[in-house]
Chains A and B, each alone.
Chain A
Amino acid sequence: MEWFDLTVKDVKKVTKEATSVTLSIPDSIKNSFSWQPGQHIQLELTIDGERTRRCYSISSTWGQALTFTVKKIQGGKASTYINERLKADDLIKVTAPKGRFTLTPNSETRRSYYFFAAGSGITPIYSMLTTLLPNEPDSFAYLLYSNKDSKSTIFAEELVHLQKKYSDRLIIKHCHSSPGWFDDAPWRKGRIDTDAVHAFINECPPYAQDAQYYLCGPGSFIPDLKKALNEIDVPNTRIHMESFGGAKTPEKPTGDKAILNVNFNGEKHQIPVASNQSLLRAMLAEGIEAPYSCEGGVCGTCRCFLTKGEVSMQNNLVLDETDIKKGIILACQAIPQSKDIEIKYKT
């Protein structure tokens, strides 16, 4: 993975607890930094002498300066640092944008896009929305967005403007888990759950019939919503997902200590895997820069082929039966179930 030292161009508070950071991209590396709405960058911060890496989604509109938005998480080292200490002209280490959770507009396409976001899950979706609406004039967008209250809602004002500007093609509804006394009433009280998803689609059925569904939020948000969509006949091929920080991981299957043989970028490695360690974590610990992104079993960036041995996956929202039959696994979720494991990556 290549790291670039980039200068922070601007730091701007968007809510009391969230900050948008804009980076200067020198012309010499512009090509590496071309991106699609929905993609993210990885940051390496050295905070009080300790190195920390985090992924953040790009929140800006296609073609504008690269901006990412970070919500402060209680006890979150990186998010607190970015919200409280990062300032313009600071130098930070960044990777080139990547990720499979993308939306590339096409002026001749006509679709209905459903977006479901919780909290800072809005950041890639905001980039998608603001890029989509001007660039795909025949398409429609439907956003269901969940927050604690209106004050903590990232991009609240921007979304109001967007809705006014595209009133004939954009519907936005808010869910507030604890609405403030003086807030305008949200569309629905509580978090986005199965009932909310079903009610939203019943109330706002797709106008264009090529409907696509984008989910972004923390923890069980993704599996819960995916299930809610499946229940009303939405096929997986139309669901796109990105999991966000603060994931409550399901019970880890107990695993064995194992030896992993991996062929990566033409180099053969043999490394140890601790019991209950994921193959991905074992590789990263040994300095093998295997691809990954969400580490939640959602994005599919870490997919590879299991050619020997057995693993179990704690969370898999990407691979279907056919993939698994072919031996495809998610390295971030795979815990060894036998002593001798071998994987390979498609090059």
Chain B
Amino acid sequence: MLKNNILPIEAYTDSTWFDLEMRHIFSSTWAYAGLVEDISEPGQFKSIQAGLNNIIIVKGRDHRLRAFHNMCRLKGTQLLRAEGKLQKAITCPYHDWTYDLEGELISVPKMDLEFANLDKSCLGLKQASVDIWRGMLWVHPEKDAPAVTQWFKDVEPYLGPHQPEKLMEAKDNVVIEDIKANWKIVVENYIDHYHLAQLHSGTLNMYDHAKAEFGFVGPHFAFWEPLDPEYAKNLEKNASMPLIDYIPKEQLGASVPMLFPGIGLGESETSWSVFHVIPIAVNHTRVEVRTKVMPASDWEFAKYASRSNKFWEKRIGPKYASEDANHPLGSADFMQEDIYVCEQQQKSYQSPYFELGPSASHGESPVRDHQQVVWDYLKPFIKNTKEG
């Protein structure tokens, strides 16, 4: 009997595992760092926590992004916080050590008095890598990281034809959810095909789950399913938002890949979104979702919403109509439904009476494959733990 047992249960409950994942997965791969428009002007910067590394991205007047580890070379003090704009230099708040936009140390207060023979040229900021791919910012802790396009090369052909740069971010629409579950449970739920028709019977029925095509390409997961025929029949009228107008007819549907580690995309007929899974602790995960849609007027959006209202009223409903709308299973919101099951699963994993059930051979194959990817990364560092 198949089981989702490539990883032991401790992988979801033991902080030793979590620490190893932070070091060997989240601190050693290309990390999602936001959307290109987050840094549009010269001088703008943004700091990103990527695993154990805090990395700053700064744009020069040449419009090129630079990335550095956000640590002063004197005592490691964080140089820049969150987002903002600077002029020509980066100054540490602690002792005013100052670096230029190439990360070179250019000024040290009382240098001659305090430091004999200080060679400033050896004390530049540690460089990292930054690049733009599919309208998203990416950082890597290594200075000479392999190109981001190489990292995603094999999965790229399976992604949607969406051009995120040409879409606009939906106003005030960033969703941040704190989930009481391990990051892998959140990812496994995202890529699990088996539950779609059941848990989300009332919320994700605009796609034809039976026709879904999916699988892992290297460490990344690709998934695509077509529109539900009834929805597709009168798409222009049924769509709740303006359709992305350059998607070829045969590609209409939902591409829902999960890039490793924990960067889900939701690429549909009307929207494009990033579902960023951020591990906080072994049983705590933050998810940040940003969504982009066709550039159109509010009036245009209102038109689509009201025109399609009747269609959706009939179709969308909660998992259990008997539940209160405040309960996830009564909410008619697929994200709340997912969070609910993830948190329940985490609770059970901590119970001494928990025992793994069988694994669905087709629908849960992505779960086993993702476990395998994680295992391949961590195997060299795990001691005294049973394998599979």
User: Which A residues contact B (CB, under 8 angstroms)?
Assistant: 108-110, 112, 138, 201-202, 205-211, 229, 231-235, 322
Contact = CB atoms under 8 A, between A and B. Distances in A.
Contacts of B101: 233
A203 to B, nearest CB: 10
A211 B132 contact: no
A339 to B, nearest CB: 35
Interface stretch (B55-63, B172-180, B217-225): B55-63
Contacts of B131: 110, 208-210
Contacts of A110: 131, 147-150
Nearest to A322: B121
B130 interface: yes
9 contacts: A108-B150, A110-B147, A110-B149, A206-B64, A209-B131, A232-B42, A233-B62, A234-B60, A322-B121
B102 interface: yes
A209 B148 CA distance: 11
A201 B63 contact: yes
What are the 5 A-B residue pairs with the smallest beta carbon separation, nearest first?
A205-B63, A233-B60, A110-B147, A232-B61, A138-B149
A138 B147 contact: yes
B61 A109 contact: no
Given A209-B65, A234-B62, A235-B102, A108 B132 contact: no
A33 B60 CA distance: 40
B161 to A, nearest CB: 13
B363 interface: no
Contacts of A201: 62-63
B98 to A, nearest CB: 15
B146 interface: yes
Name which of A138, A208, A209 has the most chain B CB atoms within 10 A of its CB: A209
Contacts of B42: 232-233
A232 B132 contact: no
Nearest to B57: A209
A202 B121 contact: no
Nearest to A233: B60
Nearest to B101: A233
Interface in B127-180: 129-132, 146-150
Contacts of A232: 42, 60-62
B130 A209 contact: yes
B48 to A, nearest CB: 14
Contacts of B147: 108-110, 138
Contacts of A138: 147, 149-150
Interface in B50-101: 60-65, 88, 101
B61 A233 contact: yes
Name which of B64, B65, B132 has the most chain A CB atoms within 10 A of its CB: B64
Given A233-B101, A322-B121, A207 B63 contact: no
Given A110-B150, A209-B130, 14 more contacts: A108-B146, A108-B150, A109-B147, A110-B147, A138-B147, A201-B63, A206-B63, A209-B64, A209-B129, A211-B64, A231-B61, A233-B61, A233-B62, A233-B101
Main secondary structure of the interface of B (DSSP, over half): loop
Given A108-B150, A110-B148, A138-B149, A207 B132 contact: yes
A110 B153 CA distance: 12
Nearest to A232: B61
Contacts of B65: 209
Contacts of B62: 201, 206, 211, 229, 232-234
Nearest to A198: B61
A138 B146 CA distance: 12
Contacts of B61: 231-233
A322 B120 CA distance: 12
B128 to A, nearest CB: 11
A208 to B, nearest CB: 6
Nearest to A207: B132
Contacts of B150: 108, 110, 138
A235 B60 CA distance: 11
A234 B60 CA distance: 8
A208 B149 CA distance: 10
Nearest to B104: A235
A172 B148 CA distance: 25
Name which of B62, B129, B131, B149 has the most chain A CB atoms within 10 A of its CB: B62
Name which of B63, B88, B121, B129 has the most chain A CB atoms within 10 A of its CB: B63
A209 B60 CA distance: 11
Contacts of A229: 62
Contacts of B132: 207-209
Contacts of B63: 201-202, 205-206
B317 to A, nearest CB: 44
Interface string B112-129: 000000000100000001
A51 B286 CA distance: 76
Contacts of A207: 132
Contacts of B64: 112, 205-206, 209, 211, 233-234
Contacts of A234: 60, 62, 64
A162 B131 CA distance: 26
Nearest to B165: A207
A183 B154 CA distance: 45
B234 to A, nearest CB: 34
A322 B119 CA distance: 12
A211 to B, nearest CB: 5
A110 B131 CA distance: 9
A233 B146 CA distance: 25
Nearest to A106: B147
A211 B63 CA distance: 10
Contacts of A210: 131
A206 B36 CA distance: 12
Contacts of A208: 131-132
Nearest to A110: B147
A206 B62 CA distance: 9
Nearest to B121: A322
A155 to B, nearest CB: 27
A138 B132 CA distance: 12
A209 B102 CA distance: 13
A230 to B, nearest CB: 10
A5 to B, nearest CB: 44
A112 B132 CA distance: 11
